[in-house]
Amino acid sequence: MTNLRRIGDDRGALSLEAIILFPVILMTLLLVIALGRIGSANNAVDTAARNAARAASLERNGNTASSAGSQMARSVLGQQGLECTSTSISISTGGFSAQIGEPASTTATVTCTVRLSDVGLPGLPGSKTLTSSFTSSIDSYRQRG
């Protein structure tokens, strides 16, 4: 009578549940990693645009403003550890041609394409392009060249 099977034997059910749930947990973890990378990259691009616009607004003419803004944006992206597959930095310098006493501003736009293909989540695009712009006022009564 030792060969009789018990009715309702649950042996092996835990292993089956683990096999079914493991891919779901793995996909959720990969999705969290991808969203974290996008959020972190978006924050870095925002910071780069804000600092670039501020650095450009402190200059006295459009040429040095464009150079200073671009250099600041690249510096911030490097400090944040963001590896962009392509980067575009644009600094508007039209405000430097305004007459002294007139309100003027400069805008920095930073675009970065972040690679996501190494995350390995099916259905996730290979990369995501993030863009951020920030406008900073130029001192109205500061001499411009």
Tell me the pLDDT tens digit for each residue of 56-73. 999 999 999 999 999 999
pLDDT beyond 90 at 3: no
- pLDDT tens-digit map of 89-136: 999 999 998 888 899 999 999 999 999 888 777 777 889 999 999 999
Report the mean per-residue pLDDT for the chain.
Answer: 88
- pLDDT number for residue 116: 87
- Tell me the H-state helices in the chain: 13-57, 62-79
Instruction: Please tell me the pTM assigned to this model.
Output: 0.81
pLDDT beyond 90 at 44: yes
Domain ranges across the chain = 13-138
**First-residue to last-residue Cα distance in the chain:** 102
Calculate what percentage of the chain has a pLDDT beyond 70: 90
- pLDDT number for residue 12: 62
b/e map 88-127, b = 16+ CB within 10 Å? ebbbbbebbeeeeeeebebbbbbbbbbebeeeebeeeeee
- pLDDT number for residue 45: 97
Span 61-90, average pLDDT? 94
Calculate what percentage of the chain has a pLDDT beyond 90: 54
How far, in whole angstroms, is CA 70 from its chain's centroid?
Answer: 17
Q: How far is CA 34 from CA 67, 121, 126, in A?
A: 33, 8, 11
